[in-house]
Amino acid sequence: MATTPICAQLLGLSAAILSLLRPYGCEVVTRYAEVGGRVSLDCEIDHHFRYLYWQKKTELSAMFVNGLTNANELTILPEYINRSRVYEKNGTLELWDLKLSDTMHYTCDKVPEGGMASTLCTYHLIVTAEYTQPVLTTHSSDDGHLNVTCSSWGGSPRDDPQWRVFGEPNSTGLWKPMSAALQDPTDLYWNVTSTLTLICTQKLRISCAIGNVTSEELEICTQLFPFPLNVIVAIGVVAVLALGMLLCGIAQLLKRFCRDSNGQRARVEEMPLRTTPDPASSEETSFSSHVEGPREPV
Ligand SMILES: *[C@@H]1O[C@H](CO)[C@@H](O)[C@H](O)[C@H]1NC(C)=O
Ligand SMILES: *[C@@H]1O[C@H](CO)[C@@H](O)[C@H](O)[C@H]1NC(C)=O
Ligand SMILES: *[C@@H]1O[C@H](CO)[C@@H](O)[C@H](O)[C@H]1NC(C)=O
Ligand SMILES: *[C@@H]1O[C@H](CO)[C@@H](O)[C@H](O)[C@H]1NC(C)=O
Ligand SMILES: *[C@@H]1O[C@H](CO)[C@@H](O)[C@H](O)[C@H]1NC(C)=O
Ligand SMILES: *[C@@H]1O[C@H](CO)[C@@H](O)[C@H](O)[C@H]1NC(C)=O
């Protein structure tokens, strides 16, 4: 008894899901197609129309591509002559010899007899071109950093290369890749690069991928610095400073010691003069005063 409404609900639900999955209706359907290839965009029609037409749309404009009429022929946009057709039977738009510039939103619109135009379906067509196999290059800088650059070109849409590192990436320093992309203004193909900057602390194997094309693996950091060069320079500077300070300290100490021993000598010279006025001993002390360095007081 209670199962019937549940079944009805389930049927209703699956019908709703099916209608969502259908490639027409009012949602935007995204379609991918390869450059030079062919694509079919379907539109459900009922033949009660005066015009049925496909347009390509940007945010600012809509341009007629191709269409059907029950009265007379529609003029096809020159760039779509010989590479598009709309099937009378079902309204499907077929495009071939696809170009990157065909990447656009397309709508199927219907104008009924004596009625207003309405959009039956919208597609987002993305024309793709496969990137070349990425190439890895390395540049090491004076401060001990290593740049690894992944380059690939001639693809679309724009995409960032993805890095794969085998080994322990955590201990190797800076791991934020810098990506850049350049688009050819006429044929719209992209060149992309990504640069990883790191400090070598261990041997690593590395590769990069764009789309499903992967570079060859590269072994990096094969010659290791125990420390990055800037650390070595810093240690060197500190060592020189410390040595300098040490030498200054020793010089000061020596100076003070010399002054002290001079004072002692002076006292030594005075004492014999006062207690024993012996010229021989005084000569001996004055002779001894020529001897450099510390000496025991007499
Ligand atoms: C379309 O193809 C026909 C027959 O191959 C050719 O005569 C015509 O010049 C082509 N038109 C354009 C615009 O390419
Ligand atoms: C529309 O008609 C063409 C030509 O008969 C056919 O190739 C295409 O598959 C049809 N599309 C649909 C959605 O039926
Ligand atoms: C390494 O990459 C950084 C950032 O991408 C750049 O600023 C630096 O000039 C590069 N160094 C070398 C030696 O290529
Ligand atoms: C490496 O770093 C990730 C995230 O930063 C962390 O989850 C992971 O535990 C680290 N591994 C090692 C071996 O330190
Ligand atoms: C993309 O790279 C190719 C191959 O290196 C080069 O010939 C072309 O000029 C580059 N295009 C742009 C827009 O940089
Ligand atoms: C990459 O994927 C595309 C589409 O899925 C396929 O046509 C192509 O053959 C693949 N390329 C490689 C090198 O696997």
Q: For residue range 257-298, what is the model confidence (pLDDT) as tens digits?
A: 667 666 555 454 444 444 444 444 444 444 444 444 444 444
Indicate if ligand 2 lies below 6 Å from the C-beta of 23. Answer: no
Q: Are residues 169 and 221 in the same domain?
A: yes
Residue 291 lies in a domain: no
Ligand positioned closest to the Cα atom of 81: 1
CB 229 within 8 A of CB 146: no
CB 210 within 8 A of CB 197: no
Residue 145 lies in a domain: yes
Residue 258 lies in a domain: no
Residue 18 lies in a domain: no
Indicate if ligand 5 lies below 6 Å from the C-beta of 182. Answer: yes
Distance separating alpha carbons of residues 22 and 58, to the nearest angstrom: 24
Q: Are residues 88 and 40 in the same domain?
A: yes
| Top-confidence residue, 173 or 44 | 44
- The domain tally of the chain equals 2
pLDDT of the residue at 226: 56
Distance separating alpha carbons of residues 225 and 37, to the nearest angstrom: 52
Q: Are residues 121 and 35 in the same domain?
A: yes
Residue 91 lies in a domain: yes
- Answer whether 0.85 is exceeded by the pTM: no
User: Which of 205, 226, 247 is the endpoint of a domain?
Assistant: 226
139-166: average pLDDT: 90
| Top-confidence residue, 266 or 67 | 67
Q: Are residues 44 and 68 in the same domain?
A: yes
Residue 6 lies in a domain: no
What is the distance in A from the centroid of ligand 6 to the CA of 250? 74
Average pLDDT, rounded, for the chain: 78
CB 268 within 8 A of CB 284: no
121-130: average pLDDT: 95
CATH of residue 109's domain is 2.60.40.10
Over the stretch 180-213, which tens digit does the pLDDT of each residue have?
Answer: 999 999 999 999 999 998 888 788 899 999 988 9
Indicate if ligand 2 lies below 6 Å from the C-beta of 162. Answer: no
Ligand positioned closest to the Cα atom of 197: 3
| Top-confidence residue, 50 or 71 | 50
User: Which of 210, 226, 242 is the endpoint of a domain?
Assistant: 226
Residue 246 lies in a domain: no
Residue 194 lies in a domain: yes
User: Which of 180, 204, 226 is the endpoint of a domain?
Assistant: 226
pLDDT of the residue at 122: 94
Q: Are residues 114 and 144 in the same domain?
A: no
Over the stretch 223-258, which tens digit does the pLDDT of each residue have?
Answer: 765 555 566 677 777 888 888 888 878 788 878 866
CB 160 within 8 A of CB 152: no
Q: Which domain holds residue 217?
A: 139-226
